[in-house]
Amino acid sequence: MSEFKLSAEFTASGDQPTAVSQLSEGISKGFGKQTLLGVTGSGKTYTMACIVEKIQKPTLVIAHNKTLAAQLATEFKEFFPENAVEYFVSYYDYYQPEAYVPRTDTYIEKDADINEELDKLRHSATRSLLTRKDVLIVASVSCIFGLGAPEEYQGFVASVKKGESKSQRDLIRKLVDMQYERNDYDLARGRFRVRGDTLEILPAYEQLGIRIEFWGDEVEKITHLDTLTGEIIGDKESVEIYPAKHFVTSKEKLQMAIRDIGKELELHLKHLKSSDKLLEAQRLESRTKYDLEMLEIAGYCAGVENYSRHLAQRAAGSTPYTLL
């Protein structure tokens, strides 16, 4: 198992050794809350890095905004160059929630601009949590927002080994279930393309692509490549591919979710119509049925997080799955 290895040109001094010792001891004893006090420039980040190295546990550092989170992530990466230091913040550059103004009968659709790089880093963070123990994630409050069920996410991982018996068609079907999109012309993040017996994938969490070459129903070769230049970076004996979306679910659970969403829709429509809110009922029915059609066809829809409880088969009022 990989361990946290602190890399720094200096050592703890002043009050830092005492703080590291006391806070580490408190964590070992299961203290729920502890506070590290210090003025700006007193080395609190380094002190925290020393604590992380001492306790050797996956660590979540929460900052109150993206800027501070990015600064902390940079510093922790310098302290732990051999470990997985990840950055998990909201992937929205712009977000306009849906709204309805009854006075003017104006409906404003949800509009958002997703930052692809931030989304890639979020997927990298969740992948690291599932594959290694030496993980330190610097996050904003986005880490308390709902994500898909971790067991479902992990259940959709595709493992490919050189020399194993696996058909290209089966792997393509698996990638589609994992919310990867086929595009034989533009290989972008979260997409794959097929060229004869060669399958190329750009995972949602990677900078490099994966090329899998088949000989009939046998995996002949696996390589990492630069998708822009086509340069081969290196050969691999095996590779694990993680889903392109955080909200993935099995076909059985998806059908159950679609059924449950439909039942809940009928209850809300009945309530709205009994209150003589016919326009609201029509809007709700139209939007929800469109989402249900997308879930039926593609297994995904815009705003899928609104249906996360049904997709995860959780009880009403239960705590959603988050990064925590």
pLDDT (tens digit per residue) in 258-303 = 999 999 999 999 999 999 999 889 989 999 999 999 999 988 888 8
Task: Say if CB 134 and CB 83 are below 8 A apart.
Answer: yes
Strand duo 99-101 + 106-108: pairing: antiparallel
Strand duo 59-62 + 135-139: pairing: parallel
Q: For residues 304 and 311, give the distance between their C-alpha atoms in angstroms, rounded to a whole number.
A: 9
Task: Say if CB 251 and CB 309 are below 8 A apart.
Answer: no
What is the full per-residue pLDDT of the chain (324 aa) written as tens digits?
589 999 999 899 999 999 999 999 999 999 999 999 887 888 999 999 999 999 999 999 999 999 999 999 999 999 999 999 999 999 998 888 878 777 887 878 778 898 999 999 999 999 999 999 999 999 999 999 888 889 999 999 999 999 999 999 999 999 999 999 999 999 999 999 999 999 999 999 999 999 999 999 999 999 999 998 999 999 999 999 999 999 999 899 999 999 999 999 999 999 999 999 998 899 899 999 999 999 999 888 888 888 999 999 999 888 889 998
Q: What is the pLDDT of residue 90?
A: 93
Which pair of structure tokens corresponds to residue 278? 């016919």
Specify the pTM. Answer: 0.89
Q: What is the pLDDT of residue 233?
A: 95
- In a 3-state reduction of DSSP, which class is residue 129? helix
Q: Where exactly are the structural domains of the chain?
A: 15-144, 158-241, 251-312
Q: What are the residues whose beta carbons fall under 8 Å from the beta carbon of 81, sequence distance 6 or more?
A: 7
DSSP state for residue 161 in the 8-state scheme: E
From residue 164, how far is each of 69, 170, 171, 221 by CA, in Å? Answer: 42, 13, 12, 10
Q: What is the pLDDT of residue 198?
A: 97
Q: For residues 126 and 66, give the distance between their C-alpha atoms in angstroms, rounded to a whole number.
A: 18
Q: For residues 254 and 300, give the distance between their C-alpha atoms in angstroms, rounded to a whole number.
A: 10
CATH topology for the 15-144 domain: Rossmann fold (3.40.50)
Q: Which CATH class is domain 158-241?
A: alpha beta
Q: What are the residues whose beta carbons fall under 8 Å from the beta carbon of 204, sequence distance 6 or more?
A: 119, 120, 123, 189, 190, 242, 243, 244, 245
Task: Say if CB 304 and CB 246 are below 8 A apart.
Answer: no
Q: For residues 108 and 255, give the distance between their C-alpha atoms in angstroms, rounded to a whole number.
A: 30
Task: Say if CB 179 and CB 248 are below 8 A apart.
Answer: yes
Q: For residues 119 and 247, give the distance between their C-alpha atoms in angstroms, rounded to a whole number.
A: 13
- In a 3-state reduction of DSSP, which class is residue 172? helix
Q: For residues 236 and 211, give the distance between their C-alpha atoms in angstroms, rounded to a whole number.
A: 10
Task: Say if CB 157 and CB 242 are below 8 A apart.
Answer: yes
Which pair of structure tokens corresponds to residue 62? 């929460």
Per the rule left: phi > 0, alpha: psi between -120 and 50, beta: everything else, 303 is left
Which pair of structure tokens corresponds to residue 242? 């993680």
Q: For residues 262 and 264, give the distance between their C-alpha atoms in angstroms, rounded to a whole number.
A: 5
Q: What is the pLDDT of residue 97?
A: 83
Q: Give CA torsion, residues 260, 261, 267, 271, to 10 deg.
A: 160
Q: Give CA torsion, residues 130, 117, 308, 192, to 10 deg.
A: -80
Q: What is the pLDDT of residue 105?
A: 75
Q: For residues 217 and 101, give the distance between their C-alpha atoms in angstroms, rounded to a whole number.
A: 57
